[in-house]
Amino acid sequence: MSRFTLRTAALATAFALGAFAAHAENPMVGGAPMLETKNIVENAVNSKDHTTLVAAVKAAGLVETLSGAGPFTVFAPTNEAFEALPAGTVDTLLKPENKEQLTKVLTCHVVAANALSEAIGKMIADDGGNHPVKTVGGCMLSAKMDGDKITLTDEMGGVATVTIADVKQSNGVIHVIDKVLLPKA
């Protein structure tokens, strides 16, 4: 092989590995690639694990907001998290007459910042293991570490675990969680 061929092969390999690493930075969610060039709503609609969340965001009229410039950190409950709520809760929340309550629940999952897990972990450590998080819905969450996982305790005492962290978006970041966070009743 000539030097040119070896150099070209090495460059091609480096480029391929670099492209893979860049793509690997953002995890797949719900069987779909999450593209950093798309906003929170554009990515969420492609996740088969977040169809309930997307339906709720639409019913609450939050599509335009979460498609906006941000930055936003969204703690995104999966369909299973919504299914774990008491029977009939989701159907009740999705009714037009309950739009205000639905909006409150959803905005308790949103923070007006671009907070990656490393930064959240540092805030937790800096605050002695328990970092208060104020959401755009006015809820106060408590962020803690459970081993290497971030947990969030809501105002009702429920605890959600971040199962997929740092899903970067053009207008913020999504952290997938396993429980719906609830405001005080």
Each residue's pLDDT tens digit, 113-160 = 999 999 999 999 999 999 999 999 999 999 999 999 999 999 999 999
Is 67 part of any domain?
Answer: yes
| Ranges of H-type helices in the chain | 3-24, 40-44, 51-59, 63-67, 79-83, 89-93, 99-107, 117-126
Mean pLDDT of 58-86: 92
Give the CATH number, domain containing residue 100: 2.30.180.10
Q: Looking at residue 124, what is its pLDDT?
A: 96
Residue pLDDT, tens place only, 80-116: 999 999 999 999 999 999 999 999 999 999 999 999 9
Question: Does an H or E element contain 58, and which?
Answer: helix 51-59
How does residue 15 score in pLDDT terms, banded at 50, 70 and 90? very low
Is 143 part of any domain?
Answer: yes
Is 32 part of any domain?
Answer: yes
As a whole number of Å, the CA-based R_g of the chain is 19
Percent of the chain topping pLDDT 90: 65
Give the range of the structural domain holding residue 96, as residue numbers without chain letter.
Answer: 3-177
Work out how many domains the chain is built from and give that number: 1
Mean pLDDT of 14-33: 56
pLDDT at 183 over 60: yes
